[in-house]
Amino acid sequence: MVDSFAAFLPRALWTTLAQVKSYVRGGPGGGAATVVISLKVREDREADYRRWQQKINDTVRSYPGFEGSDVYPPISGEQHAWVVVFRFSSTGELTGWLDSETRRRLLDEVGPLLEEPPGLEVLAGEPPAREAVTAVISHKVRPGRERDFQRWQDKVRKAQEKFPGFLGFEAFEPVPGVQENWVVMFRYDTREHLDDWLESDTRGKLLDEGRDYFADFDVRTVKSAFSGWFRFNGETAQEPPPNWKQAMSVVLSLYPTVMILNLTVGRAFEAMRLPGYFAMFISNVFSVSILTWLMMPLVNRVFASWLSPSGGGSAFTNIAGALVMVVCMALCIAVFGLITG
């Protein structure tokens, strides 16, 4: 978020990982589950923490039901903790990971690297159908004010729906034996639209009104424009590349893919006299599949040091990489110009 967030974001009140029990929302046989973990790393131990995070990422992949993970480093002036998201296909399988002896040992290892015990929120339900910017907010509701809080939260939701870019809203009640907080998730199509809501006078007035119902709250955000297409060493990039780098990479991968399909599959479809709408659908299936499993992984490997440089990369590295991208695009245009000319 922006620097003004510091004025109203209180200290995190998340339940510690060591307190998580075998019961997860929805019971052992529940549906898909996600755990959002917050870790405040000591400034002088960040390198050690990165190695530990890679270790736990490698370990969790072997557990039944694991579907994916995302790691979001702190953002200067916006978010001061690392945020890690693990997704499992069921709450029971997530419970198996949370209660495992392996995870306990890893928690013991990371303890000296942190300023305070890590915290989490456990969320049950299917992931959103489209990528967006998601905010996860936990509230410590005052005893006896739960119904008032629910009515207030419904009022907040109705106000959010009127703001541009709003995509969805989900509310989660406390989980007995796991966490005492009420959790709210809402999604916007862009970071700018999310910030518009978070910084709005409307939300500010609602927060003032709601302070009678909750003692504190905490905000975490996760986002990525094309995160599924940007992977390094088999994992989603810990910090997604800037949008302009993502866009250039997608264009470099998409252009030759579309041209080759037009020259091969497209001509075959013409010969077969398939309806245009059906031929377009099949072409889209081919192009997305080629992008996801062939072209984007190839571009990721070739441009890995430019897409996700350590320390963010220098201005020279960023400019040089962009120029190489432009040269590659120009070569593609020249080659297909010769072929089709």
For 132-176, the pLDDT digits (tens) are 677 778 788 888 888 898 899 899 989 998 999 888 787 777 766
- pLDDT at residue 289, as a whole number: 85
Q: Which residue has the higher pLDDT, 122 or 318?
A: 318
DSSP tag of 179: B
Q: What's the whole-number average pLDDT of the chain?
A: 76
Residue 193 and residue 166 in contact, taking contact as beta carbons nearer than 8 Å: yes
pLDDT, one tens digit per residue, over 62-109 is: 888 888 888 877 765 555 778 888 888 888 888 888 889 999 999 999
Tokens coding 108: 């013991």
φ, ψ (nearest 5 deg) of residue 131: -70, 145
141 DSSP β-pair partners: 214
| Mode of pairing for the β-strands spanning 15-16 and 119-124 | antiparallel
pLDDT, one tens digit per residue, over 20-30 is: 332 333 344 44
Mean pLDDT value across residues 283-307: 84
- pLDDT at residue 49, as a whole number: 92
CATH T-level assignment (fold) for domain 3-223: Alpha-Beta Plaits (3.30.70)
- pLDDT at residue 176, as a whole number: 64
Mean pLDDT value across residues 305-314: 66
- pLDDT at residue 256, as a whole number: 92
- pLDDT at residue 175, as a whole number: 63
- pLDDT at residue 122, as a whole number: 74
Is the predicted pLDDT of residue 15 greater than 80, yes or no? Answer: no
Q: Which residue has the higher pLDDT, 212 or 328?
A: 328
Cα angle value 220/226/229 (rounded, 5°):
120
Count Cβ atoms within 10 A of the Cβ of residue 162 and give its class: 0-12 exposed, 13-18 middle, 19 or more buried.
exposed
Residue intervals in the chain for CATH 3.30.70.100:
3-223
φ, ψ (nearest 5 deg) of residue 176: -55, 130
Is the predicted pLDDT of residue 11 greater than 70, yes or no? Answer: no
Mean pLDDT value across residues 217-241: 52
